[in-house]
Every structure is written in C-alpha cells, then in structure tokens.
C-alpha cells in the first residue's frame, strides 16, 4: 500500500523544529501570526520531502536528476576540470522553485569519478550565467561507456548545497545523492552527440523523467505550449 506521507530529508528536521518552535511562541502573542507560522512549518515539511520514485532502467537511458522546469538547453564547452571532453556538449538546465522537490538523484548507474566544488555568487539561478558565476557543486558519473556531469547550482535564496556521495562510490540510476536549499538549478551535460528528449518549459520529475537516450537516433524534439 502506497504511503500518503513522504519522509523528509534529515537536513530539514532542524528547520521544521525551528519553524514549529517559533510558531508556538508567536501563537502566544497572536493567533494570526501563530497560524501563519504553522503554515510556514507545513511548507518546510513539504519542501524537504523525499517522495518515492520509480526509475526507468535500461542501457543508454539518462534520467532527470531533479524536479523542476527545463529552463535552458544549450551547447557549451564543459569546464576542463570535469574531464568529459573539450568539445561542446548539450547542457540541459532544470530550474527548481521553492515548491519543487529539492533532493537530487543520479541520472545513470555508474561510479562517482569526480566531485568538484566551485565557490561563487548567488544570482538568479534561472539565468544562463548562473552556470559559471554561482556557487555550485558537480559530480561526474562514469558507467564505463560514457560520462555524465551534473551540477547543483545555488540561487538567490539557496545558501547551501549538500552532496551526499563520495568519489569512487557506485550508485544506481535514480539514487538520492544531494540536496539544495532553497530554490536552485541543476545542469546536466549530455554525452557528445546525444540530443535531449525534453524541451524548454517541460516539467521534470527527478528519478523518473527520461532526459535523453544514448541509443536513440531521433532528432531533437520540438514542442508548443497550450
């Protein structure tokens, strides 16, 4: 039987307790302020939720690492330190608002080859320059056939990136590996020649939506909003 309530990330427990404690104090002075505090406490629980996901499993599939909206699809030369080639690769950017699930999941099964942290600014994560200017952390996953780089990017509100894996660790596709607080972006660098199966404006479900298929020969997809 499927549970109605999703567990919350352990990093969120202290925030939920703080929100709840402040709400109780406010309630003693004003029922209105206390009520607002309890609403924010409920939002905090909702923000740190970890819903169960069913991950498609097949050779060549690349799964979305995050919930959110595809905000950018562009070809760029990846940073040298990623060691995934010097030619332009397609980068898919997924923007997370404060109501999205904020845990990240591995897009493929493989070995964590590198973890690279970049200090930086906290500009709007939806902007293209956030990939180079903002604080971010990248994992490079190698499945023996190709490599994928995933970058967690902090935004205007986000002030902490958690990466809960380590170099050399073997991980399955869709496995939880990190979290960004609060509002952020995740970039995925696809292998050379691989086109995304998603379009700008499309909603992603982390651990479930197929982002790309290395074995596919179809052209990049087009879409329209209704």
Catalytic machinery residues: 184
Q: In whole angstroms, give the CA distance from residue 166 to residue 188.
A: 19
Strands 136-142 and 147-154: antiparallel
For residue 1, how many other CB atoms are within 10 A of its CB?
Answer: 3
For residue 196, how many other CB atoms are within 10 A of its CB?
Answer: 21
Q: Is 49 strand, coil or helix?
A: strand
| Closest C-alpha among 153, 178, 45 to residue 99 | 45
- For 175, which DSSP code? -
| Closest C-alpha among 132, 135, 131 to residue 118 | 135
């Amino acid at each position: 039987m499927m549970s109605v309530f999703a567990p919350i990330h352990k990093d969120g427990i202290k925030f939920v307790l703080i929100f709840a404690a402040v709400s109780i104090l406010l309630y003693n002075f004003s029922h209105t302020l206390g009520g607002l505090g309890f609403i924010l406490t409920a939002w905090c629980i909702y923000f740190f939720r970890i819903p169960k996901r069913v991950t498609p499993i097949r050779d060549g599939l690349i799964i979305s690492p995050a919930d959110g909206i595809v905000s950018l699809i562009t070809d760029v030369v990846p940073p040298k330190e990623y060691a995934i080639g010097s030619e332009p690769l397609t980068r898919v950017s997924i923007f997370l608002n404060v109501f999205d699930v904020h845990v990240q999941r591995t897009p493929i099964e493989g070995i964590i080859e590198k973890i690279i942290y970049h200090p930086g600014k906290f500009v709007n994560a939806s902007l293209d320059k956030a990939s180079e200017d903002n604080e971010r952390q990248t994992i490079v996953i190698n499945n023996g056939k190709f490599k994928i780089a995933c970058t967690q990017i902090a935004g205007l509100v986000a002030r902490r990136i958690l990466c809960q894996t380590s170099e050399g660790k073997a991980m399955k596709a869709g496995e939880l590996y990190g979290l960004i607080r609060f509002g952020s972006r995740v970039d995925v660098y696809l292998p050379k020649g691989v086109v995304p199966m998603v379009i700008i404006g499309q909603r992603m479900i982390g651990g479930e939506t197929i982002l790309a298929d290395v074995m596919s020969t179809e052209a990049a997809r087009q879409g329209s909003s209704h």
